[in-house]
């Protein structure tokens, strides 16, 4: 999409097809000849890993639907039926439930990477916002998927999360009734969540296409934050990025397989193996781990509407990061102060996650309040001010200079690095 | 490293092939559970036997029971029905094979081979027309057996096809007499 395709079909049949629909040329220019910065590190493999996880979730999900029944009297039993009766049903269900967690681990690393290296800055604002939209869709999808097994946590998670909307004045209670399709979480709720849980992943796939399109228009960021200036600064996507991404995926899948085969229920809750009971709430109710930081923020605010707004605000603020960060320097590598504040903020996010799993009482609430304030201060105060007061380190003139050093940067690169170079 | 390489095959060629082969094995191992889940699951297999009490079926009466989700006709035939079936010469049949799961695959379609073993008044057949799977209507058609409403196939009093388009006789499921008044199908 950036630059011209260097694909020239040789076979007459392929020539005939290519002149009518240049599909192979598009794939070639996007995933073979596409120039990638030569200095990408392993944090850049998580985009590919996320695509893999989306495919993994869609494939395993489509198969689960073949055996699942979305009805309050049958849903719980049909999940147990998948676990006990269906051939390899246990494996496919554990792939799907652990896959959701792996998807979020990958997306959080991907987001931290983007925030550290300034991947949201001009001209990548739209790319960043599309990513935020994907993240929101992922959260909605995961939430509705967790309701489907119709265990105690499914039911009460659905009740609590939908009740968030009741905080809005005037329209709140009506919105909640319409979400439920009744006066409580019931069969109508389960059916519509099932329908939407099947729909949303395909919407995610659609936005992923836009995300990749936007990426290929503006080009990838890289650890230096310096745009590629000459063909020497880039290498072709294949074989360099494909092999590196492939290796990253394999390592990630080993990590995934460890959860899948050794501790498949570690990230879940035992209470969800109790069938949903609308008359009794479990004593200790917490959301899935990937929502915990936001759950901590919700509980930190002693006001219903305020808590809900704080929670949603924590995500909305991400959309504005491209304009909140005022620094001219893109990569955190050359920003000594930003670097420190970034890691403090990461620690705050993890701290909020830890607090989200603790009971809402005493010191936990106070700590939650402090960390919530810091979370917002990072975006609304620290990022804008850092750009004004921070003295960044010298940024290299080019990617090649950063990789090979100042003296060798101008010299012809060694044969091994530049041999398969093609114009992007 | 270059010193160990020859013009023909290189160390790198070996690594490519070994990696590719390992990847193919892994992909196949991953695909298998997704194919395997398509087969009938344990809850379906658990329902593969059906018992039928014959005492409540009067002479001449035909009842339909469900076995593995399919209709099975259990017919208490009259003397007239049996005599009619026995009169037919094998050469007059469209399909001369018994199609009886309890007998050899090439057993001829005589009435003895079609009816219950030692209980010749009982006829047990899978109630699915061998043409395209409709359920034929009992006690009807020119041959007093079944008539299929979909495409007009007709079966006689031993469930043998006598007029097309059905290509074969109604199948006889595996079954046995648990006692004189009870059969177990499957």
pLDDT at B5: 52
Q: How far apart are the first and last CA of chain A?
A: 10
pLDDT at A408: 60
Q: What is the CATH number of the domain that holds A158?
A: 1.20.810.10
Identify the closest residue of chain A to B46 by CA–CA distance.
Answer: A85
C-alpha to C-alpha distance for A350 and B79, rounded to whole angstroms? 85
| B161, β-bridge pairs | B155
B115-120 LR contacts (CB < 8 Å, sep 24+) = B115/B77, B115/B82, B115/B85, B115/B158, B116/B177, B116/B183, B117/B176, B117/B177, B118/B177, B119/B177, B119/B180, B120/B82
Q: Which of A203, A56, A57, A198 is nearest to A137 (CA)?
A: A203
C-alpha to C-alpha distance for B132 and A352, rounded to whole angstroms? 64
Q: Which of residues 8-47 of A touch B (CB under 8 A)?
A: none
> What is the predicted ipTM?
0.82
Any idea which residue has 């496919």 for tokens?
A92
Tell me the two tokens of residue A91.
């494996």
* Chain B contact present for A285, CB below 8 A: no
Helix (H) or strand (E) holding B183: strand B182-185
* Chain B contact present for A87, CB below 8 A: yes
Helix (H) or strand (E) holding A174: helix A172-180
Model pLDDT for residues B54-70, shown as the tens digit of each residue: 999 999 999 999 998 89
Same domain as A316, residue A275: no
C-alpha to C-alpha distance for A272 and A157, rounded to whole angstroms? 10
- Residue B7: pLDDT band by 50, 70, 90 thresholds? low
Query: Which of B20, B29, B35, B37 is the best mutation test for A, with the most CBs of A within 10 A?
Result: B37
> Total structural domains in chain A?
2
Provide the number of CB pairs (under 8 Å) joining chain A to chain B: 33
pLDDT at A407: 65
Q: Verify whether the Cβ–Cβ distance A91 to B33 is below 8 Å.
A: yes
b/e per residue A392-417 (b: at least 16 CB within 10 A): beebbebbbbbbbeeeebeeebeeeb
Same domain as A365, residue A355: yes
Tell me the average confidence (pLDDT) per consecutive run of 10 residues in chain A, 424 residues long. Answer: 63 92 90 93 96 97 97 96 96 97 97 97 96 97 96 95 92 94 95 97 97 95 94 92 95 97 94 94 90 94 92 96 95 96 97 92 92 97 95 93 74 44 41
CB A127 within 8 A of CB A319: no
Query: Which of A88, A94, A96 is the best mutation test for B, with the most CBs of B within 10 A?
Result: A88
Q: Is residue A21 part of a domain?
A: no
Q: Is residue A15 part of a domain?
A: no
Same domain as A253, residue A331: no
The active-site residue, picked from B119, B131, B139, B151, is B151
Q: Is residue A25 part of a domain?
A: no
C-alpha to C-alpha distance for A209 and A138, rounded to whole angstroms? 15
C-alpha to C-alpha distance for A335 and A391, rounded to whole angstroms? 7
Same domain as A53, residue A137: yes
C-alpha to C-alpha distance for A2 and A187, rounded to whole angstroms? 49
* Chain B contact present for A88, CB below 8 A: yes
Give the 3-state secondary structure of residue A158. helix
Q: Is residue A136 part of a domain?
A: yes
Same domain as A359, residue A276: no
Q: How many CB atoms lie within 10 A of CB A187?
A: 15
Q: Verify whether the Cβ–Cβ distance A92 to B42 is below 8 Å.
A: no
Same domain as A215, residue A123: yes
Q: Is residue A12 part of a domain?
A: no
- Phi first, then psi, for residue B76 (nearest 5°) are -90, 95
Query: Which of B2, B32, B41 is the best mutation test for A, with the most CBs of A within 10 A?
Result: B41
Exposed (0-12), middle (13-18) or buried (19+): which is A30, by Cβ within 10 Å?
middle
Any idea which residue has 């049903």 for tokens?
A89
What domains can be seen in chain B, in order of their start residue? 50-185 (2.102.10.10)
Q: Flag whether A81 is marked binding.
A: no
Q: Which of A32, A56, A30 is nearest to A243 (CA)?
A: A32
pLDDT at B6: 57
C-alpha to C-alpha distance for A89 and A66, rounded to whole angstroms? 11
Q: How many residues does chain B have?
A: 186
B181-186: average pLDDT: 90
Kindly report the nearest CA distance between residue A82 and chain B, in angstroms. Answer: 9
Q: Is residue A281 part of a domain?
A: yes
pLDDT at A419: 40
b/e per residue A254-277 (b: at least 16 CB within 10 A): eebeebbeeebeebbbebbbebbe
Range of the domain at A143: 33-228+235-285
pLDDT of B119 higher than 90: no
Q: Is residue A177 part of a domain?
A: yes
Largest Cα separation within chain B, whole Å, is 94
pLDDT at B155: 93
pLDDT at A395: 94
Same domain as A338, residue A192: no
Same domain as A250, residue A319: no
Q: What is the CATH number of the domain that holds A395?
A: 1.10.287.980
Q: How many residues does chain A have?
A: 424
Chain A residues with beta carbon closer than 8 angstroms to that of B36: 87-88
CB B67 within 8 A of CB B185: yes
Q: How many CB atoms lie within 10 A of CB B119?
A: 14
Identify the closest residue of chain A to B36 by CA–CA distance.
Answer: A87
- Residue B45: pLDDT band by 50, 70, 90 thresholds? confident
Select from A270, A285, A300 the last residue of a domain.
Answer: A285
Active site residue B139: no
Q: Verify whether the Cβ–Cβ distance B41 to A67 is below 8 Å.
A: yes
Same domain as A159, residue A303: no
Chain A residues with beta carbon closer than 8 angstroms to that of B37: 63, 66-67, 86-89, 92
Q: Verify whether the Cβ–Cβ distance A88 to B37 is below 8 Å.
A: yes
* Chain A contact present for B37, CB below 8 A: yes
Model pLDDT for residues A84-132, shown as the tens digit of each residue: 999 999 999 999 999 999 999 999 999 999 999 999 999 999 999 999 9
């Amino acid at each position: 999409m950036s630059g011209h395709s260097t694909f020239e079909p040789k076979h007459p049949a392929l020539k005939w097809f290519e002149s009518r629909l240049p599909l192979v040329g598009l794939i070639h220019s996007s995933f073979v000849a596409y120039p990638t910065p030569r200095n990408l590190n392993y944090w850049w493999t998580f985009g590919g890993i996320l695509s893999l996880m989306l495919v993994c979730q869609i494939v395993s999900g489509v198969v689960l639907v073949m055996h699942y029944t979305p009805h309050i009297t049958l849903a719980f039993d049909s999940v147990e039926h998948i676990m006990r009766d269906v051939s390899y049903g246990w494996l496919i269900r554990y792939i799907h439930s652990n896959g959701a967690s792996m998807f979020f681990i990958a997306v959080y690393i991907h987001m931290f990477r983007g925030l550290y290296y300034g991947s949201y800055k001009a001209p990548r604002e739209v790319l960043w916002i599309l990513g935020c939209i994907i993240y929101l869709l992922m959260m909605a999808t995961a939430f509705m998927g967790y309701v489907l097994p119709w265990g105690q946590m499914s039911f009460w998670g659905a009740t609590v999360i939908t009740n968030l909307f009741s905080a809005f004045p005037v329209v709140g209670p009506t919105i909640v009734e319409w979400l439920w399709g009744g006066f409580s979480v019931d069969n109508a709720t389960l059916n519509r969540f099932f329908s939407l849980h099947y729909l949303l992943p395909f919407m995610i796939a659609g936005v992923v296409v836009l995300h990749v399109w936007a990426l290929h228009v503006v080009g990838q960021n890289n650890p230096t934050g310096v745009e590629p200036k000459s063909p020497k600064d880039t290498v072709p996507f294949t074989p360099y990025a494909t092999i590196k991404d492939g290796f990253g995926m394999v390592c990630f899948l080993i990590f995934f397989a460890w959860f899948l085969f050794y501790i498949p229920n570690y990230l879940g809750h035992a209470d969800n193996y109790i069938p949903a009971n609308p008359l009794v709430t479990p004593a200790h109710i917490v959301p899935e781990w990937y929502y915990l930081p936001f759950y901590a923020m919700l509980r930190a605010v002693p006001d219903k509407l305020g808590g809900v707004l704080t929670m949603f605000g924590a995500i909305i603020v991400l959309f504005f990061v491209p304009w909140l960060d005022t620094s001219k320097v893109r990569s955190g590598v050359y920003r000594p102060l930003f670097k420190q504040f970034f890691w403090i903020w990461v620690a705050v996010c993890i701290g909020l996650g830890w607090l989200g799993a603790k009971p809402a009482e005493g010191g936990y609430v106070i700590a939650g309040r402090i960390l919530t304030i810091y979370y917002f201060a990072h975006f609304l105060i620290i990022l804008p001010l850092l750009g004004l007061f921070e003295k960044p380190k010298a940024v290299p003139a080019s990617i090649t200079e950063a990789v090979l050093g100042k003296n060798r940067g101008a010299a012809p690169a060694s044969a091994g690095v530049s041999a398969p170079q093609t114009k992007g | 490293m270059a010193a160990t390489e020859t013009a023909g095959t290189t160390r790198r060629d070996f690594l490519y092939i070994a990696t590719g082969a390992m990847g193919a094995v892994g992909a196949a191992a991953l695909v298998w559970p997704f194919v395997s889940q398509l087969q009938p699951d344990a809850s379906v297999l658990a329902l593969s036997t059906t018992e039928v009490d014959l005492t409540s079926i009067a002479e001449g009466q035909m009842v339909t029971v469900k076995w593995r989700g399919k209709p099975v006709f259990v017919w208490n035939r009259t003397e007239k029905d049996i005599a009619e079936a026995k009169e037919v010469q094998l050469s007059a049949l469209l399909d001369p094979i018994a199609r009886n799961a309890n007998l050899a695959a090439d057993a001829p379609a005589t009435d003895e081979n079609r009816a219950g073993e030692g209980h010749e008044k009982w006829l047990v057949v899978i109630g699915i027309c061998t043409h395209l799977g409709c359920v034929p209507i009992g006690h009807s058609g020119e041959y007093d057996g079944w008539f299929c409403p979909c495409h007009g196939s007709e079966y006689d009093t031993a469930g043998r096809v006598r007029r097309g388009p059905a290509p074969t006789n109604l199948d006889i499921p595996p079954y046995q007499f648990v006692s004189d008044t009870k059969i177990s199908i499957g």
